[in-house]
Structure 1
């Protein structure tokens, strides 16, 4: 029943998603994708709903066989989900390699995403979500834990680390905001040569790839009518981000399958679709915008050990020296491959980096 727009351009994605590529992906979603198999893959990791203040939080929870293992909390962003961590979780909680320590792993759906329903009024701000997830960890019996965040998960994880320093063993992130230190006469003098390209890429993404952000922070409900009504529209909206944000270019051609399989992409896409959380997830952008306007959107100072795993195609990358002046940085890795969805694209690199960070901080 889709009303397709006319074919446009030569397929270089300069004006947006390529018509032919999208038709092929949608055709596979309709006739080839096995959602029952995808659901079984999600359910291969124990799923739970825990009610906090009358509202459930969905989470994956894989316990290590070692009772005294360190808990690790994994936080996703938009348009990702717990699907980002499906391959990482077993690597951390049930490592097959001899001699590798295991962890208790918790991966919640952020409120309004996937299995965690949103609310019917404004107020589910990132800092409120941070408090709720900290309460979830307490309910699960984890008084102290490591927290990782990517994309919006970075903000929520940073809130948790700053609000609950006595409970957070360490903060690990993959998205690093490039904020020049104010107490340095020439911040650019601290930037290493290869990091200059990072800053150029940051600027390009801000100019050429931020339209979605401005819409979602100002009128998420308006956009929600269109995307909730049209599976093809929703697919195009998310495909655009995966095409731009993943490390998917090979021999001069970009195809998301070079980074993430169509099956995994569609598992993530379908999770939003079947839980009717397309619109509520976009509220996160508006809530953070309103929180910043009220002076409550910026996370407080982080005092716990911090680590960063930098993937080359991440959309925001900070020079290391700038991060060292904002956080007690004890761990820094620059991965050879991967993009914005690092855990999804390079689960081996991601899991090894988290394990190395935990070793450094004694977790």
Structure 2
């Protein structure tokens, strides 16, 4: 089984590999040959050397075939030209260990040891064979290490992409879920009183329109923030915007009492997290608990912000999918090194409590 990392030679590295291969086999054109008549031996040596270099172009595309071919040709070339040396075999082994997973490239290590050490053993040069063995191990280790580093960088890049997607999903949910929930409640209220009280129905429809415009404005703000090339995006919500949020919820039928204790100006990240947690908790209350009243307490301490949201509803809120609802609030708190608990309150209703440290932000 592979490691999920696909290594490809860039065009400039492929050209560099061809140049290096040509330099390593060039002595085959003038070094002495053995085992064949001089002319035939020279032609065979040049053909083997040129074939090895040409095969390097496809090394990362067909690594097994090219590696095997280069090793066989290299062994034959060593027998023909004993003074040449197996330098190209080490380059191919290193590249193959980089291109393929370690478990798959072990056969190439064994084949290289046989290909470069066999001719030396056949010629009785045992110390040279030992040197080629050490060089083979070094070349394979170097290639495997390069692959491990590349695979780690690729895994970190993929993880960063997944985390960014999760962040965007949370932000998009927070931006839209609250306003859309208010729109649904207002539309339902308008439908309930449409025949009995047209004035109240029209007022609810106007609030629905206002909420829709707010949703569009927040969505545009979010998209501008996601766009890294834009630096003129409006600021994110802070604790000062909780009053406007409470007013929106009151228009949808949920009376919100907002209390703030303590002094200080928490970091922007803590304020945004606290605002989003309050927004999500109130939205869940509006949608699921049937409550008519909610209390929000923001306690600013010297090292952390405490957030508490209580309602007088049924005391139960259904779970939501991954990344949304209560789970999304917990993830937000965890990103700051904080904690969040949510559940039925001791005196009834539902309570959400969050501890958001300053230092992590």
Both structures adopt the same fold (TM-score exceeding 0.5): no
Structure whose alpha-carbon radius of gyration is higher: 2
TM-score tier (shorter): under 0.3
As a proportion of its length, which structure holds more helix?
2
| TM-score normalised over the length of structure 1 | 0.20
| TM-score normalised over the length of structure 2 | 0.20
As a proportion of its length, which structure holds more strand?
1
